[in-house]
Amino acid sequence: MRIAFLGLGLIGGSIARALRRRGPDGPGRETPEVVAWSERGTGPRAALAAGVIDAVAAAPGAAVEGADLVVLAAPPMACVALLGRLGPDGDLGRRLARGATVTDVASTKSALLAAARTSGAPYAGGHPMAGRETAGFEAADGDLFRDRAWVVTEAVNEGDPARVRALAGACGARVVELDAATHDRLVAAISHLPLLAAVALVEAVAGGEEVRDDWGAAAGLAASGWRDTTRLARGDVTMGAEIALTNAPEIAARLRDLRTAIDAWIEALEAPGGPDADAVRRRLAAARRRLVG
Amino acid sequence: MRIAFLGLGLIGGSIARALRRRGPDGPGRETPEVVAWSERGTGPRAALAAGVIDAVAAAPGAAVEGADLVVLAAPPMACVALLGRLGPDGDLGRRLARGATVTDVASTKSALLAAARTSGAPYAGGHPMAGRETAGFEAADGDLFRDRAWVVTEAVNEGDPARVRALAGACGARVVELDAATHDRLVAAISHLPLLAAVALVEAVAGGEEVRDDWGAAAGLAASGWRDTTRLARGDVTMGAEIALTNAPEIAARLRDLRTAIDAWIEALEAPGGPDADAVRRRLAAARRRLVG
């Protein structure tokens, strides 16, 4: 079993760490040979030095040569470009082993599925639902996906979803089967909207490209509430941008729902005759119930 | 030195714990006598059983009798009502020691200052900037305010801000002097807006009083990003409501800024010809810079 990572940052590195730990542990379990390539090469070199992978490839073609499973662990738009080259006529696809499967870990799925359909790459999409605001292999953690959801989407061109389910299992994750469109709709709500809401909150309080006059004074009063609510806005910019760009309509629809909720808050606070105490209490209580049951 | 707490939940309890630990430690430092009353009495009884306070008072009048410092540690509107009774002609104010000061820990300051001005209570406002989503004395932690900001506002009616500064110091906090209006404007941005943004996010994704059809499926995919971004919406409902109701105009102004930022995100994602990649990248990068410098 040969596994090739194209991209090896926080997410790919965490999977590679889980595989390496798992390999020698499981009695009778085959230890995969793991090779990695990335655009800048820093993740693969660090992983090799840490004994987490077996080889660093100088080019993506050398990485996928003879691979049974290719894991695209780069930002979404880079994955789309790689899928375009992983079809039977592509420069990368021609080097895959017979029966190989390409999967990925990107936060959006429909754009990647469409790219695989177009190129003919043997693809079965995946999305492990965990992350951190710290990017790069240095932050990788073999327990990152333990007990977390790992979405597996529909396969095309004889990509084998069983390989993806096995990868999720090796990381201790639980598999959730969803079609790509449903994934993108749900993840827009539970993950992409919180990201852009955090960014919008920072823009409203600290300012966007122009800093607000009172940001310094306000920042001096910040406590854990501010830190947690805005944590996602500290994440990797390329990753966030490519998520937004490859799932824009679903995210925009959720942003409209958020705006509707905010408008209703403004209305409650600015009600004629003073703030609407009943509405304020009722809405805080309802939101709390959704979270704590 | 006699200190009376009116209300003894997470915040009051954390102060009482810090005072108790500090008292015997500091060589030559006077150990205050601490008495507490609360509406339901559960916090004071638990604190007495834990050896954190010296006495439980059956009524607020008995608690403030002869107190040098009264700490209002109830939700904001309850504090406003108590301040109304703590003036020289009030049933509680008549029992204060000569030279006593009333302070509080509420998250809004102008409404409390106005109540003190009206009643004549000897008031110097305070706001320790820390919190948790878990309410009640059980969650109290003597380190909650260590190295955190503790806002001290203007004093009225011979309330002594030095007493409040000493209380903050005993908890390991750093004092930030602000007038009540400035406090309310800044804290609306850094604390109250994040609370309502978290609630609006829950409403948009999970539904408000009517649960959304796809909430169950989305919740199954939730990871740490969702949990952190919505953590504030798990907090105490009465506290949240009274904060919103006593600082409504400042919060509404910040909600409008948030709505402006969200509108600009919708516009960037729905730009004619496809999402505006430059704007998306530029805005994510700018927000990240505000947080990580």
With beta carbons less than 8 A apart as the criterion, state whether B214 and B46 touch.
no
Instruction: Give the confidence band of B28 by pLDDT, cuts at 50, 70, 90.
Output: very low
Q: For residue B220, give the chain A residue with the closest CA.
A: A149
pTM comes to 0.92
Q: Are A269 and B251 within 8 A, CB to CB?
A: yes
Chain B partners within 8 Å of A207 (Cβ): 290
pLDDT higher than 70, residue A62 = yes
Return the residue of A nearest to B256 by Cα. A266
Indicate the pLDDT class of residue B131, thresholds 50, 70 and 90: confident
Q: Give the ipTM.
A: 0.92
Q: Report the residue of chain B nearest A260, measured CA to CA.
A: B204
Largest CA distance in chain A: 74
Give chain A as a 3 state SS string.
CEEEEECCCHHHHHHHHHHHHHHHHCCCCCCCEEEEECCCCHHHHHHHHCCCCCEECCCHHHHHCCCCEEEECCCHHHHHHHHHHCCCCCCCHHHCCCCCEEEECCCCCHHHHHHHHHHCCCEEEEEECCCCCCCCHHHCCCCCCCCCEEEEEEEECCCCHHHHHHHHHHCCCEEEECCHHHHHHHHHHHHHHHHHHHHHHHHHHHECCCECCCHHHHHCCCCHHHHHHCHHHHCCHHHHHHHHHHCHHHHHHHHHHHHHHHHHHHHHHCCCCCCCHHHHHHHHHHHHHHHHC
Report the C-alpha dihedral over residues B113, B115, B120, B123, rounded to 10 degrees: -40
For A27-52, what is the mean pLDDT? 89
Q: What percent of chain B is modeled with pLDDT above 90?
A: 92
**What average pLDDT does the structure give for chain A?**
95
pLDDT tens digit sequence for B174-230 = 999 999 999 999 999 999 999 999 999 999 999 988 999 999 999 999 999 999 999
Quick one: what percent of chain B has pLDDT higher than 70?
97
CB contact under 8 A, B197 and A197: yes
Has residue A26 got a pLDDT over 60?
A: no
**Long-range contacts of range A235-240, CB-CB < 8 Å, 24 or more positions apart?**
A235/A131, A235/A133, A235/A135, A235/A195, A235/B288, A236/A9, A236/A75, A236/A135, A237/B281, A237/B284, A237/B285, A237/B288, A238/A75, A238/B281, A239/A75, A239/A76, A239/A107, A239/A135, A240/A195, A240/A199, A240/B284
Question: Does A220 sit within 8 Å of B283, measured CB to CB?
Answer: no
Q: Is the pLDDT of residue A25 over 70?
A: no
Residue of B9 and A31 predicted with greater confidence: B9
What pLDDT score does B170 carry?
95
Q: Please give, rounded to a whole number of angstroms, the shortest distance from the CA of A62 to a CA of chain B.
A: 32
B-contacting residues in A 14-33 (Cβ below 8 Å): none
Quick one: average pLDDT of A253-277? 97
Q: Which of B203, B269, B283 sits opposite A252 (nearest CB)?
A: B269
What does the pLDDT read at residue B27? 44
Mean pLDDT score of chain B, rounded to an integer? 95
Nearest residue of B to residue A212 by CA position? B290
Q: Which residues of B touch A240 (CB under 8 A)?
A: 284
* Nearest neighbour of B261 by CB, restricted to A200, A257, A260: A200
Q: CA B203 to CA B104: how far, in whole Å?
A: 32
Q: Which of B204, B260, B277 sits opposite A254 (nearest CB)?
A: B204
Residues B151, B122 contacting (CB under 8 angstroms): no
Nearest Cα of chain B lies from the Cα of A272 at a distance, in angstroms, of 12
Alpha-carbon distance values, A180 to A111, A168, A177, B233 (Å): 9, 17, 9, 30
Q: What is the pLDDT of residue A28?
A: 44
User: pLDDT value at position A68?
Assistant: 95
Find out whether A93 and A121 touch, Cβ atoms under 8 Å: yes
Q: Shortest Cα distance from B9 to chain A (angstroms)?
A: 18
Calculate mean pLDDT across residues A201-222: 95
Within 8 A of A269 by CB-CB distance, chain B residues are 244, 248-249, 251-252, 255
Q: CB distance from B251 to chain A under 8 Å?
A: yes
How does pLDDT run across A148-205, given as a tens digit for each residue? 999 999 999 999 999 999 999 999 999 999 999 999 999 999 999 999 999 999 999 9
**Bridge partners of residue B103, in order along the sequence:** B71
At B30, the pLDDT band (50, 70, 90 cuts) reads low
pLDDT band for B135, please (50, 70, 90 cuts): confident
Instruction: Quote the pLDDT of residue B31.
Output: 81
Q: What is the pLDDT of residue A29?
A: 57
Which pLDDT tens digit goes with each residue over B246-264?
A: 999 999 999 999 999 999 9
Comparing CA positions, the residue from A135, A169, A234 lying closest to residue B229 is A234
Contact A32, A86 (CB under 8 A): no
Q: Mutate one of A10, A105, A196 to test the B interface: name it (highest B CB count within 10 A).
A: A196
